[in-house]
Structure 1
Amino acid sequence: MTDASTSHLVLIPSYNTGPKLFETVRAARLHWAPVWVVVDGSTDGTVEELRAMAADDPHLRVLELPANRGKGAAVLHGLEEAERCGFTHALTMDADGQHPADRIPQFQGVSQANPDALVLGKPVFDASAPRLRVGGRRISNWWANLETLWGGIGDSLFGFRVYPIKPLRKVMRRNPWMRRFDFDPEAAVRLCWLGVPTINVAAPVRYFKPEDGGVSHFNYVRDNALLTWMHTRLMLGFIGRLPMLTIRRVRSRSLRSSPH
């Protein structure tokens, strides 16, 4: 792709992803411009090659954090710079090759046609998906939908999505959370609370084995504990917002059922 968007960019946070990062960046650049990578304190030497790639590509930009802060913090760093540069939307995707770069134009197109919406990827799993991970995300999805009164979150954990930057930054400025693995589900829930509409778009996802270059920093104990604490505080927030969410849901159903 040669024409660069002035409103929508691709944002890729990366922490010690190894060579898969370069495959992901090249694939993303094949389908979109501009593409930004936020290197979240990586110590695997990837930043040097990324700098070289960016030096030869005016539509690739590399942002560097001196120490690892977590996915949400890396995304926020990129969003702040993107908004400063005049961008209104960011498609986030993982650096490890799991997300389908060839779907970027589709997702960005849906966002461009619906600029107020959060465009959520809904994963389509193949045989490579670990059963424990697939089963675990069903639990998180159930809680996220309860916390929004089934407000349209097809999948709370899938990080391939297009965010409207302004409301997401507003949400993140309000609280100190959403900086690590809890970023994706909490961002979706809190944007729903803010009244941002959701659009779900199916997208395939791949899980690579270590021998195929796959890298995962997911820790079942640490990250599930983080998700448990996240849903605990979201449920507390949900209770206070329940009247407002109920009214909004009733109004939405009334509008859908009214004759045109």
Structure 2
Amino acid sequence: MTITYSDVLVCIPTYNESANLVPLVRRALDSVAGATILVIDDSSPDGTGDIADALAAEHPDVRVLHRPAKSGLATAYLDAFRYGLEDGFTRLVEMDADGSHPPERLPAMIAASYAPEVGLVIGSRYVPGGRTEGWPLSRKILSKAGNTYVRMLTPLTVRDATAGYRVFTADVLRVMDLDSVTSRGYSFQIEMALLVAGTGKKISEVPITFRERESGTSKMSRAVVLEALWKTTIWGWRKRSVQQTAHTTEAEIR
């Protein structure tokens, strides 16, 4: 099957990413020629939005969505997904602006999204061939423990449910209730994976090498991680509650 990228929208949220945006966009344009790059900028005070506008003026495949204030990663992606669905794109990509997600892996991830019944492809650090570079041991332990916690408490079986490098099909996004998404931080990725699983579509994982950002400041914080753990716990309680209700109903029928 021949795959073209003209129906692919690569969504890149930005806030103070002036040092990273240009090389990342150029790598993405080279990796998936013909795809459209959408920069979603939250009025970055360091001028990232102006840099994005300059890129759009230079490249016809670059677009910019300006938002009036810093509103978080989750709402940026949700706005981008709605934008992409309205414009008829069939593959919508999540990609961090800091360069940690290698655009060179996009062709393999997009190809995987065409497998039967696949609704989401994750660029995974924790399947064979995947790895991280530049992380201290403490962060590696936290990330792997978090993913183990997700698998224990939710129906998800993927190895890297917290990863932010993803390809969604438009078909799965259309049947998901995007307005119901409540997460605003790290837990957004877990919630979106759960919603995909709830549609009955498959989730595939493609190995990537995740590299720590070279410039700028990470948006990760203790509060963001705690929100993810708390929401995962709530989703786990709901799962057990549903299972308990099902068992009770079955016993009553008998």
**Normalised TM-score (structure 2):** 0.84
The alpha-carbon distance between structure 1 residues 173 and 113, as it changes in their structure 2 partners (threshold 3 A), is closer
Q: Which amino acid aligns with 1:34?
A: T
Answer yes or no: is the 8 Å Cα contact 1:144–1:189 preserved in 2.
Answer: no
Q: What corresponds to 1:130 in structure 2?
A: 136
Which deviations, in whole Å up to 9, do the C-alpha atoms of 1:199-256 show, x marking residues without a partner? 1111001013xxx414301112x1122112211221133224448999xxxxxxxxxx
- For the residue of structure 1 that corresponds to 2:194, the secondary structure is helix
The alpha-carbon distance between structure 1 residues 126 and 224, as it changes in their structure 2 partners (threshold 3 A), is closer
Q: What corresponds to 2:224 in structure 1?
A: 223
- For the residue of structure 2 that corresponds to 1:112, the secondary structure is coil
State how far apart, in whole Å, the 2-side matches of 1:166 and 1:130 are.
38
Which sections of structure 1, spanning at least 5 residues, go unmatched? 247-260
Answer yes or no: is the 8 Å Cα contact 2:14–2:48 preserved in 1.
Answer: no
- For the aligned residues, what is the CA RMSD? 2.5
- For the residue of structure 2 that corresponds to 1:117, the secondary structure is strand
The alpha-carbon distance between structure 1 residues 128 and 238, as it changes in their structure 2 partners (threshold 3 A), is same
User: Structure 2 matches for 1:133-152, cutoff 5 A?
Assistant: 133-149=139-155, 151-152=156-157
Q: What corresponds to 1:105 in structure 2?
A: 107
Answer yes or no: is the 8 Å Cα contact 1:119–1:161 preserved in 2.
Answer: yes
- Identity rate of aligned residues, in percent? 28
- For the residue of structure 2 that corresponds to 1:213, the secondary structure is coil
Answer yes or no: is the 8 Å Cα contact 2:8–2:90 preserved in 1.
Answer: yes
Q: What corresponds to 2:24 in structure 1?
A: 24
Answer yes or no: is the 8 Å Cα contact 1:144–1:153 preserved in 2.
Answer: no
State how far apart, in whole Å, the 2-side matches of 1:88 and 1:243 are.
38
User: Structure 2 matches for 1:42-121, cutoff 5 A?
Assistant: 42-114=44-116, 116-121=118-123
Q: What corresponds to 1:192 in structure 2?
A: 197
Answer yes or no: is the 8 Å Cα contact 1:148–1:192 preserved in 2.
Answer: no
Q: Which amino acid aligns with 2:13?
A: P
- For the residue of structure 1 that corresponds to 2:225, the secondary structure is helix
**Number of aligned residue pairs:** 239
TM superposition shift of 1:184:
1.1
Answer yes or no: is the 8 Å Cα contact 1:79–1:169 preserved in 2.
Answer: no
TM superposition shift of 1:193:
2.7
Answer yes or no: is the 8 Å Cα contact 2:108–2:206 preserved in 1.
Answer: no
The alpha-carbon distance between structure 1 residues 167 and 4, as it changes in their structure 2 partners (threshold 3 A), is closer
State how far apart, in whole Å, the 1-side matches of 2:231 and 2:79 are.
21
The alpha-carbon distance between structure 1 residues 144 and 41, as it changes in their structure 2 partners (threshold 3 A), is farther
State how far apart, in whole Å, the 2-side matches of 1:104 and 1:245 are.
41
Q: What corresponds to 2:251 in structure 1?
A: none
Bigger mean CA offset, 65-74 vs 169-178: 169-178
Q: What corresponds to 2:235 in structure 1?
A: 234
